[in-house]
């Protein structure tokens, strides 16, 4: 509960609601062979999510979608959700508490709530008191006889004598570690990358840190 309160306070102090961005049509991309995908994670208030309201230098740190799942083996949406949870757990990213929650993301024409659905849960490779990779998954969206889901993963570093204690470290490191583990340990295998165009460079107010604008594609075949 304390973490959620701090996250909300940090967001409001960093940039009030009026200064936050609402997603537009330009924030949706149409990758070949996939449904329309929103470029960003969306916060509870409908604005584009920023990493706990933190700044990277003087720039707001926007949270990009950086993982895409294509599940051709799932039979139903519930089956697809179960398979994502099981695969993440098998890969060393079980559901853990201690993270901000309540996010959504766009697939097709629908905004999907995050998985896991607990009020302070995320998939993570470590407890929130220590540096960890963590993320939220959105979907599943029915597509081409299977289901497509998307995710936003990031790495946070922890320093108990620094404010804020939970600081952004990397999008790339979290994406690649998560994808490597799923590829090695589950039915979801690497299948290249989708260009989402969601790396921000040279913007005077917003950045995406080390993100390269791509989402890794993880496929589970029929």
| Residue 176: per-residue pLDDT | 98
Percent of the residues in the chain that have a pLDDT greater than 90, as a whole number: 73
pLDDT tens across 9-32, in order? 444 444 444 356 899 999 999 999
Q: What is the pLDDT of residue 16?
A: 45
**What is the average per-residue pLDDT within 178-193?**
98
Predicted confidence at residue 163, as pLDDT, reads 56
Q: Residue 1's pLDDT is what?
A: 31
Instruction: Check residue 126 and give its pLDDT.
Output: 94
Q: In angstroms, how far is the first alpha carbon of the chain from the final one? A: 41
For residue 222, the model assigns a pLDDT of 83
State pTM to two decimals.
0.89
How do residues 128-169 score in pLDDT, each as one tens digit?
888 999 999 999 999 999 999 999 999 998 776 665 577 899
Q: What is the pLDDT of residue 49?
A: 95
pLDDT digits (tens, 9 = 90+) for 63-116: 999 999 999 999 999 999 999 999 999 999 999 998 889 999 999 999 999 999
At 7 the pLDDT is 44
Find the radius of gyration of the CA atoms of the chain: 16
Q: Is the previous residue joined to 133 through a cis bond, with omega within 30 degrees of 0?
A: no
Which of 10, 28, 7 is CA-nearest to residue 150? 28
How far from the centroid of its chain's Cα atoms is residue 91's Cα? 17
Report helix, strand or coil for 121: strand
């Amino acid at each position: 509960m304390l973490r959620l309160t701090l996250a909300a306070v940090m967001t409001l102090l960093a940039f009030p609601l009026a200064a936050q961005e609402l997603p537009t049509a330009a924030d949706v991309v149409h990758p070949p062979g996939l449904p329309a995908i929103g470029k960003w994670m969306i916060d509870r208030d409908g604005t584009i999510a920023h990493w706990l309201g933190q700044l990277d230098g003087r720039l707001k740190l926007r949270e990009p979608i950086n993982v895409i799942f294509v599940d051709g083996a799932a039979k139903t949406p519930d089956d697809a959700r179960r398979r994502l949870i099981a695969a993440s757990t098998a890969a060393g990213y079980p559901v853990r508490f201690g993270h901000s929650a309540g996010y959504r993301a766009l697939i097709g024409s629908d905004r999907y709530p995050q998985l896991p659905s607990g009020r302070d849960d995320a998939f993570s490779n470590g407890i929130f008191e220590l540096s960890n990779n963590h993320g939220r998954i959105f979907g599943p969206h029915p597509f081409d006889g299977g289901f497509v889901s998307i995710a936003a993963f990031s790495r946070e570093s922890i320093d108990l004598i620094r404010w804020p204690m939970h600081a952004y470290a990397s999008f790339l490191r979290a994406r690649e570690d998560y994808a490597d583990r799923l590829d090695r340990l589950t039915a979801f295998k690497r299948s290249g990358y989708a260009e989402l165009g969601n790396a921000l460079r040279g913007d005077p107010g917003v950045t995406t840190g080390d993100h390269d604008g791509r989402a890794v594609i993880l496929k589970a075949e029929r």
